[in-house]
Amino acid sequence: MELSIEQGRLRGCVGTDIKGSNFLKFKGIPYARPPLGDLRFKAPQPPEKWAGVLDASKEGDASYHCDVVRENIMVGSENCLVLNVYTRKLGDGKNLRPVMVWIHGGGFVWGSGSEELYGPDFLMTEDIVYVTINYRLGMLGFLNFEDPSLGVPGNAGFKDMIMGLKWVQRNISAFGGDPNNVTIFGESAGGASVHLLTLSPLAKGLFHKAIVQSACALNPGARGTKGARHIAKALNLEGADDKTVLEHLKTKTFAEIFEIQKKIVDPLVANEIRPFGPVVESGDKKAAFLTQEPYEIILSGNFNQVPVMIGFTSREGMLAQMFKDCRKDFSVQDHIPWTFGYSKEEAKAVTTTVKKFYFGNEEPSADNVVKAFDLASDVFFLYGIHKAVGAQYSRSKAPIYVYEMTIETELNFFKNLLKITEPGVCHADDIGYLFNHFVTPKITPGSAADIGRSRFVKLWTNFAKFGNPTPDQNDKLLKTVWKPVTKPEIDVLDIGTDLKMVSNPYRERIQFWEKLYSESPAGRNK
């Protein structure tokens, strides 16, 4: 199957969804010029045209990274600004369909939009067009310098996403997609990216709805640091100016840059200051992805006011098991958020308060590891999500829908991958209900897993189509009405074996962190 877009002709291939129907795949499409040579570290440039027919039956490269999910193998390259498009049929100028653009997660240092993790076979049962975007990761995507003359203010990875969304606006109608009905969605760092896109002036008008899964712009992992001191130290160039550091990095291969990056940030350490992530840019504000701190943007009301779905899993903090064995080695002090601004001595004092709240008079151990998981859930995900929703719902003219995922079946992706047996739903478990991937089990028709998968897909695609996840009160699959947030006591849709509305299920825990933040150096300085 061939079609023409702005850059030239493409030849795709045919896929089959979970129900046995065919759809079209166009993979590895360049949406920007390769970020090589003088373009390394800089904002992406518009794509070039090609001669002949581009083979779009194979995926392009991810940004070079260590795949921590797949045996820590090295994958990708520097030439990574490509996307995939999946559609039921090509455009004819009529009956254009809603578009869903996926932003992958991975802590801004690993991951890709590949079919191995985010396959289209579930979503393509609905009448949508599905797009996945690869963007630059780690130092390649998030290096930043204070000196504006160097042209590396940071956030290049986010500007990649924006370039991808601009490509969608110009080209998606050829694939049958509606450029006036685009939903961006993502999970973990991808969810934080989606939330940040709703706050960025550069993204205005490029999408019309947003789904933020298991993260937000206010989480500790969604904060980068400015400047090059970490890099200078790793290069044995301490005291060197930014220009010297940048010129040194330009001489390195992308593999050598990754080795330097490994000295600076460990993707398997959760609560640390991340040099490579979103930053407020200095220099040219018109070209900046972020011009203010995210919370300040929310409070100002000056954000992209589109309908939002945002949510979390019941035990996001099970992800901590990926970093170290929490049953044998769990440090409460390591879970005092660095964003609260405590010194090491202050953190020790606060640790006693936090430990008492979560563990009572017990020491962390294998017997009470679920309490450790809850602490990690609140620090890294729930507190920030609740803070964002609480500030945003009253300042937005568009609805905000909040969910908690509690369903547990063989489709719970990360919990099964990490072989966790304690009750609760792990971070990234929702991936298994929206996408087929490299460890998707056989799904028995009519099983709890099958019904759960169908509900997730229906809720997500309903939102993309209508801006309302439950537009039909008589829907026999969903059997509920998901109400948007209208008051401080946040109403939440519990996505379990059944669907039901509940009121702020973690009120006491969120209030604990609100009080702790208000008494912290960061809170007192607000």
Half-sphere exposure of 102 (CA within 13 A, CB side): 28
Q: How far apart are CA 91 and CA 87, in angstroms?
A: 9
The closest alpha carbon to 122, from 1, 23, 13, 11, belongs to 23
Contact assessment for residue 524 and residue 369, using Cβ atoms and an 8 Å cutoff? no
Q: Exactly one of 78, 126, 187, 316 is catalytic; which is it? A: 316
Neighbour tally for 392: CB within 10 Å: 25
Both tokens assigned to 516: 């702790």
Q: How far apart are CA 18 and CA 40, in angstroms?
A: 40
Both tokens assigned to 417: 């991958």
Q: Exactly one of 63, 173, 188, 396 is catalytic; which is it? A: 188
Q: How far apart are CA 200 and CA 291, in angstroms?
A: 8
Neighbour tally for 323: CB within 10 Å: 16
User: Catalytic residue at 188?
Assistant: yes
- Alpha-carbon 1 to chain mean position: 32
Contact assessment for residue 17 and residue 125, using Cβ atoms and an 8 Å cutoff? yes
Q: How far apart are CA 231 and CA 200, in angstroms?
A: 27
Handedness of CA 111, 112, 117, 118 (dihedral sign): positive
The closest alpha carbon to 383, from 226, 490, 470, belongs to 490
User: Catalytic residue at 454?
Assistant: no
List, by residue number, the catalytic residues: 188, 316
